Amino acid sequence: MKDIVYYSDDSYLGEGISLGIARGILVKYKDINIVQEGLGIGNIAFKNGLMTFFASTCNTLQLSKTQFKKIFLIDSVLLWQINGKHSIFVTRVIEILAQYYMHFPGLQNKLLKTGTFFRNLIKLTPILKRVPPVAKACFNYTIEEDGLYVESEVKSLAGYLNKVFISNELGADFFLKGIRNGKAVPTPTGWNYIKTNPDSNAFYDPDHNLSFFVKKINVQNQVSCKVFWGREKTKDLSWAGFEFEFDCRNKKIRSFDCRYIVKIK
């Protein structure tokens, strides 16, 4: 679609609760940034035990008008703080609660509102703390007529890989509706597991008549992949998108590759 523009800006580190995390490819529709608080197309996160790691550092090389290369360093850990004092204990408790949150899709909307209320009540805020890089990820993006082709290579810099997440997120204020098998459905709350045919699920922007979905997910090195879709909208959250979860535990691997296509049309 000629009104869709894919671009990169390493100085843009987002907004809201995820401020400070390096972004993937950004997207404009008629000069409007439709990413908002989302992490962009093709981003990376790690989970090791009860700690989650993100990339605060990203270097981008634009190879041509239609090709980008991004190298992410996963060099920050997400910590939670109360009244400005971060706590490993509180961070781990929140990680446990987040895991339970994922298992109850039907309750996620109420749980999100309740969690936001208590987070504001006790002045609980996230921070990104720099750590020695635990991994590096190289993403290659190619703009084609039928979508954005993404190729990624993930390499551990500290032992075997545990759990890896690749995210593709745009703004929740734009993608208000969901589509499944060609029929309108409510958007998911939080992250909902797509059991079959991920490309049958899409987000829809009714104001601009845009659909957003992923397809042809291909993973090497015999790594299992689960696909989730989700949307959250609060005062400091505003994202909608797709996440791939790669469970590398017990695989004893240090790297893997993944390819897929993102369509916004």
So what's the pLDDT on residue 96? 74
Q: Where are the alpha helices (DSSP H) in the chain?
A: 88-102, 108-121
Q: Give residue 242's pLDDT.
A: 98
Closest CA to 114 of 126, 127, 103, 124: 124
pLDDT at residue 250, as a whole number: 86
| Whole-number pLDDT of residue 84 | 76
DSSP label at residue 248 = -
**Spatial CA neighbour of 56 closest among 42, 71, 83, 75:** 75
Cα of first residue to Cα of last residue in the chain, in angstroms, is 6
Q: Enter the pTM of the model.
A: 0.91
Chain center to CA of 42: 8
pLDDT of 258 reads 97
Q: Which residue has the tokens 């390096």?
A: 22
What residue type is assigned to position 111 of the chain?
L
Q: Is the CB of residue 194 less than 8 Å from the CB of residue 215?
A: no
Instruction: Note the pLDDT of residue 126.
Output: 82
* Domains along the chain with CATH numbers: 4-80+128-264 (2.70.98)
> Which one, of 1, 9, 64, 8, lies nearest residue 30 by Cα?
1
Give the pLDDT of residue 75. 97
pLDDT tens string, the chain, 265 residues long: the values are 679 999 999 998 888 889 899 999 999 999 999 999 999 999 999 998 889 999 999 999 999 999 999 999 999 999 988 877 777 877 777 777 777 666 666 656 665 665 565 566 556 788 899 999 999 999 999 999 999 999 999 999 999 999 999 999 999 999 999 999 999 999 988 889 998 899 999 999 999 999 999 999 999 878 999 999 999 998 888 999 999 999 998 889 999 999 999 999 9
Residue 163, Cβ density class (10 Å: 0-12 exposed, 13-18 middle, ≥19 buried): middle
Give me the phi and psi of 88, to 5 degrees please.
Answer: -65, -40
88-102 helix and 108-121 helix, angle to the nearest 10 degrees = 160
pLDDT computed for residue 190 by the predictor: 82
Q: From CA 177, how far away is CA 186, in angstroms rounded? A: 6
CA distance 165 to 134: 14
Residue 8 Cα distances to 23, 40, 54, 141, angstroms: 8, 10, 18, 11
Q: Quote the pLDDT of residue 128.
A: 92
